[in-house]
Amino acid sequence: MARKYFGTDGIRGKVGEGMMTADQVLKLGWAVGKVLASDNGRMVVIGKDTRISGYMFESALEAGLSAAGVDVRLLGPMPTPGIAYLTRTLRASAGIVISASHNPFYDNGLKFFSAQGTKLADEVETGIETMFDAEMKTVDSKELGKAERITDAHGRYIEACKASISIGTRFAGMNIVLDCANGATYHIAPSVFTELGATVRVVGADPDGLNINQHCGSTDPRLLKQQVLAQGADLGIAFDGDGDRVVMVDEKGEIVDGDELLYIIACARKFNNLEINGVVGTLMTNMGMELAVKELGLEFTRTNVGDRYVLEAMKQNNWMLGGESSGHIICLDRTTTGDGIVSALQVLAYLSESGKSLHEAKSGMNKMPQTMINVPLSGGSDPMTSQEVKTAVADAESTLDGHGRVLLRPSGTEPLIRVMVEGEDVEMVQQLSNQIAETVKAAA
């Protein structure tokens, strides 16, 4: 279903442009209030990451929702999955997250959750867009919504994260490094892992409104790798700016991505004799992950890139595990959406129970060499329709001769074309991806 304002994960853009202006967000808050708040529960929760623009958009959303006659509960800085959790437990009509996830500080965005803590259906987003285009009318003064700040929001979510693993599980003796990306997990993740007994060193936990995701976090784990090796830690954990993604670094300093973490969680479910029939990945999921999951005796299916599509496939198949290479992992038997902290806890619980190191736990999966290049779009022609690009892709597929894959797709969150090549020979993969990327760049 075509949408006018919504992308694959809410609305996102550069602050001060397009939909990401104070006046547009105010009206969007009003539209959301009109569409999502029912007569029996006219209350919406709002949380945010640590971007400086979050102050502005929080106030704008509050004003718009109040004008629609909807009460507001302000959560302050909170990971996206924490906002989904509190939307459910506070019995809100909807939840709104002010975040641009892994993007730089000068971008921001809005994500929305239903009363059940799940992403909105396409038809609901379309309804919000239709209401947004209508004339904004403020309710009568006696019907205006009120706002209240929830002061114990982070404590509630900390306990929910800890409850996602067995009550007897402790990480005593485990030495870990946490990278909070100067984002929404900075005041939550350290408490979760410390309270479970781990020895924790924290980096990327000093947000100033401008340094979110800057040379840190799951999109740039170099700092984490350095610290794990320097500290002689057992492992490192890196979240993105809004806390719904996680990647790790093992004791050897090797990065453990979302595909490998999802495989380890599948192993954990099998280890504990929990019901697990299959795993959902995306078009970007490494072929080595698919083969490893099938070796566990599980089914595997791919979807389009985007957690909404992963979740849809999980529900259709009645499967509990799914995720993306980026580290956006959904454990439906634990939570309703992708959750970096909860996913990391599943991995650490398995290491504690099995006695394996992180490096040993991932060894059952052999990643196929894969290269992805992000090609910025200049705003001109669409490279996806270029005959030169189509020819370059066809030539690469011919060279791979059935022993690999080529995938081109536009990003749903940034003005980029992602070029991915996967195959058995790393040099060939790199060469082919560079050739295609140059062709795409010339056609952009």
Cite the active site residues.
101
List residues bridging with 54 in a β-sheet. none
Q: Any idea what DSSP says for residue 320?
A: S
Where residue 243 falls (left for φ over 0; alpha for ψ -120 to 50; beta otherwise) is left
* SS3 category, 176: strand
How far apart (Å, rounded) are the C-alpha atoms in residues 220 and 209? 18
- Own/partner contacts of 9-12, CB < 8 Å, gap of 24 or more, are 9/101, 9/109, 9/111, 9/119, 9/306, 9/307, 9/308, 9/412, 9/413, 10/97, 10/109, 10/110, 10/111, 10/112, 11/109, 11/110, 12/100, 12/101, 12/103, 12/107, 12/108, 12/109, 12/110, 12/413
From the list 373, 376, 440, the residue with the least C-alpha distance to 414 is: 376
The H or E element spanning position 404 is strand 404-410
Q: Any idea what DSSP says for residue 38?
A: B
Where residue 278 falls (left for φ over 0; alpha for ψ -120 to 50; beta otherwise) is beta
Cβ atoms of 49 and 98 within 8 Å: the answer is: yes
- Concatenate the DSSP letters of all residues of 194-248 into one string: HHTT-EEEEES----SS-TTTT-STT-THHHHHHHHHHT-SEEEEE-TTSS-EEE
Residues 6+ away with beta carbon under 8 Å from 255 = 221, 225, 247, 248, 249
Residues 6+ away with beta carbon under 8 Å from 122 = 1, 3
Residues 6+ away with beta carbon under 8 Å from 116 = 88, 336
How far apart (Å, rounded) are the C-alpha atoms in residues 274 and 165? 13
Where residue 286 falls (left for φ over 0; alpha for ψ -120 to 50; beta otherwise) is beta
Q: Any idea what DSSP says for residue 13?
A: E
Cβ atoms of 330 and 320 within 8 Å: the answer is: no
From the list 95, 74, 76, the residue with the least C-alpha distance to 85 is: 95
How far apart (Å, rounded) are the C-alpha atoms in residues 185 and 178? 10
> Which residue in this structure is represented by tokens 């536009």?
410
